[in-house]
Structure 1
């Protein structure tokens, strides 16, 4: 990768955590927890690895 602007843009697009992971609350009381379902998807693991490499690249630049 040769462009820090593209690396920074991709880091902003790829989420740092799974969006499906939720604590369901009602009136301040914790009802239940939904586990992250995207952990089962291998594409998500590849995106997290890419984001890690991009952050490492940006730290070096």
Structure 2
């Protein structure tokens, strides 16, 4: 039971930040563009390490270790939807 205590405490401390990120509404084109540029579409840490054209090993996407990953990805998605639906912009440049 003591091993679960740090996980629960960690989740409780981040709960207000999660709620804040989930509550952000996008109503500004500049903010939406900034979020789409600042939050990558794919994890930038995921890589295949190759030597002489042969794959030695794969580094998995470590972004999912981020406890706020789901909220940040959701924020980016909401920004993309705002640009596409409300502003009528082509968002393929961000995909």
TM over 0.5, yes or no?
yes
- Short-chain TM bin: 0.7 to 0.9
Contiguous gaps of at least 5 residues in structure 1? none
Listed as ranges, the matches of 1:19-38 within 5 Å are: 19-38=44-63
Following TM superposition, the consecutive aligned residue runs of length 4 or more in structure 1 with deviations greater than 6 angstroms are none
Instruction: Please report the TM-score for the alignment, with normalisation by the length of structure 1.
Output: 0.87
CA RMSD of aligned residues (A): 1.1
Listed as ranges, the matches of 1:14-53 within 5 Å are: 14-53=39-78
Greater radius of gyration (CA): 2
Instruction: Please report the TM-score for the alignment, with normalisation by the length of structure 2.
Output: 0.59
Contiguous gaps of at least 5 residues in structure 2? 1-25, 88-95
SS at match of 1:24: strand
Q: For residue 22 of structure 1, report the CA deviation from its aligned partner.
A: 0.7
> Counting strand residues as a fraction of each chain, which structure ranks higher?
1
